[in-house]
A and B are shown apart, each in its own frame.
Chain A
Amino acid sequence: MSYEIGSLSLDHPVLNGSGTFDAIAARRAFGDALLEDFPFSAFVSKTITPEPRAGNPPPRLYETPSGMINSIGLPNKGLDGFLSNDLPQLAELPVPLIVSVMATDRAGFERLVDGVGGRDEVAALELNVSCPNVKSGLIVGEQPSETHALVTALRERTEKPLIVKLTPNTADPAAVAVAAEEAGADGVSLINTLRATGLAPGSAEPWLGAGSGGLSGPAVRAIALEQVRRVAAAVSIAVIGMGGIETAADAAEFMASGAGLVAVGTANFRDPGAGIRVRNGLKNLLDDTSTLHLNLRSN
């Protein structure tokens, strides 16, 4: 069984969701034990933007039944800060690095792809398209046409595998996935978070500093599974499935539904070793074809 995203070949099918594991911070907390048994077959960075961002005002977290809303607001050091501060540290990880990038215009995306794509330490790029295009006012990832145009433009600028991170906040994610594939993407990852909000207890005001945010965790798993199933049926590039995966059995459901790879997101918060549990459990399930008759699809 092989796990591939375009030309990038991985050792096992479990990645992290962008923004749900910070390998640099985790190393501060857990030391080099982290590197000795690194959970993921590739590390996906938190999304970076061309310029530095402080992120949203607190509170940034809201807990929901079997899930959580985050409105973090993409705090990051910007492209230059990332390249000078973070990249050398991420290069020490024992696995390939996938850098997630986002901008609000074409030029910004181009700068990111040029800057990140030119570095040997980087194995692949993930395009976070859950962002407005300031020109059209549309969220790129909600529109097949916008996605197609963006990926086409970026495809020319790098040979590295390009993954498009799909948004679930749209009527037909499969149409966006097909647009990404046609424009030359090597993979799609889904789902990102679902727009959501919650009020401060006993108040009429939203709890989150930014008013609303994105829902993740087990609450969204059934939605994610359906979107993965539809997307995987529509494209033949790599599909990285995520959304509420907590156990190897959950991950196996995504793989049985057509995802060649999976990512662990919110589950990392409840257990920093969630990725190890999922990876090892999945290995047992995949080895023991008698227990689980999964019609696994490899890319």
Chain B
Amino acid sequence: MSIWKYANPTQFMRTSAWLLPGLSVLAALCVATGLVWGFFFTPDDFRQGSTVKIIYLHVPSALMAINAWLMMLVASLIWLIRRHHVSALAAKAAAPVGLVMTVIALATGAIWGEPMWGTYWAWDPRLTSFLILFLFYLGYIALWQAIETQDTAADLTSVLCLVGSVFALLSRYAVNFWNQGLHQGTSVPVATGERSVADVFFVPLVFSMVGFGLLFVALVLLRTRTEIRSRRLHALLARERAADTRVAPNTPPSESPTS
């Protein structure tokens, strides 16, 4: 028994059906605990006031936005090397979730930016590289949508994901270089490191992060199941069509040697 048996759609459907309810409940619990605790039972920050509480949405979504891309990269590699359909579909399923996470991170960041920096948007390196990530997600999803033949779409998006990952890393580096070079750092307080987060804020943050992680896994499982069902439907329809054309009047049903 290898791990690859889960790459069989049927096996995947069975296992995920068993996993999904528990996972969803756990994710909901963690997210709810983290957010409620964070929003209502932590003190206001002495400098940032209550705006600091947006961190419970901002940081987890930002982390998941990056992790989703990593997961897609791994899934794409598996598809290219071992051609397991489920992994291609899992990559496809993860993309919109990652996109939404990116949008949440961007939106909460922008909302946070207004009181903190006095502007919704500044060309800070970290924000900028998130914007680029957003573009990668858009392109990836658009390519999936554009190609009709499913296996070809899986192939091409996988290649895009591989090449895109390399360039995403390069961009991240280039963006840092670009803004440092302008000596703009002082007017733009870069999001600070963890050391600025005191324990009272930290514990609910951990809950929230774990919750978002579980939520991501649950959503991807759910969406993968939907994709599998949709592919199944597709295959059934195709077969019905094939049956239709065979009884068409000008093509007499041929005796197939194998039937």
A binds B: no
Residues of chain A having any CB pair with chain B under 8 Å: none
Residues of chain B having any CB pair with chain A under 8 Å: none
